[in-house]
Chains A and B, each alone.
Chain A
Amino acid sequence: MTMTKDEVFAKVREVLEEALGVDEDEVTPQATLGGDLGAESIDYLDIVFRLEKAFGIKISQAELMADNVLSDPQYVQDGKVTDLGMSELRKQLPHADLDAFDASRQVDEFPNIFTVESMVKFVQGKL
């Protein structure tokens, strides 16, 4: 049975509440995992494990976050993502809104592209 977007959101919200110890009302669609909800690197692995269990899907951290791109010198130079890197990120992360990030391309701002909404879109794409 296909889940509605609201049903997916409700489950994603529950996952984020448990993984990050945040309150229900903090988990809005626009909230960023790193900036607003305080996720650190290990939390993303926790979120992956919990999403897999909650939705019965298999997720690699690379397909959710494209972390392989940022560790590749051909895609990052002087702390900024290159044109080639942006193109690769857009290919690998159709669930994320990269427009705001494209303006600065600063690697340390990368975690802010992951919003609750992007998690919902990612899961919907896997179901």
Chain B
Amino acid sequence: MRWIWIDRILELERGRRCVTIKNVSAAEDVLHDHFPATDNRPAMPVMPNPLIIEGMAQTAGIMVGHAGDFKEKVILAKITKAVFTDAARPGYTIRHTAEMDNFSKAGASTHGKTELIDPNTGEAKPLAEITLMFSHIDHNMAGLEFPEHNFVFTGQLMEMLEASGFQSPG
């Protein structure tokens, strides 16, 4: 099983940009643990920020993988920056826009903005700015070896790529 924290890919430009969305639902258990009611205040269900970062990592990771024809094993290696200015509540849609800064044999760096789309007005407002680093782990400096098959781009991520209307490598 793998956690997928994006629902659909809207745009995918080779080596340049990827846009995805994630609908925040009250049906997701994690929201009810974050944060439950206390004696002093009512429940405040919001999408945990680490999961929003994971959604951006999946968005940017697909862009990095796509730039290398999904041949490299692309692993999130560093969260360079993650600054949040709002909270994602049920009923809102999260939109991740990732852009490529650098891409090399060893890895890639990306930056992106995450927005909240208001369910009433359709307007987008800033939620976070997230800058990430990815490693192509078969080219890691330590010379470590990993399984030959690409265990990153398989199953759900590739199914989502196809369901969103983009061609998967398989």
Contacts and interface: CB of A to CB of B under 8 A. Distances in A.
Interface of A: 19, 41-46, 48-49, 52-53, 61, 65, 67, 70-71
B45 interface: no
B101 interface: yes
B71 interface: no
Nearest to B80: A46
B27 interface: no
Interface residues of B, number: 15
Contacts of B77: 42, 45
A52 B101 CA distance: 11
Contacts of A19: 80
A19 B109 CA distance: 11
Given A52-B102, A61-B106, A45 B133 contact: yes
Interface of B: 77-78, 80, 101-102, 104, 106-107, 109, 133, 135, 140-143
Nearest to B109: A49
A67 to B, nearest CB: 5
26 contacts: A41-B141, A42-B78, A42-B133, A42-B135, A43-B78, A44-B141, A45-B77, A45-B106, A45-B107, A45-B109, A45-B133, A45-B135, A46-B78, A46-B109, A46-B133, A48-B104, A48-B106, A49-B101, A49-B104, A49-B109, A52-B102, A53-B102, A61-B106, A61-B141, A65-B141, A67-B141
Contacts of B141: 41, 44, 61, 65, 67
Contacts of A53: 102
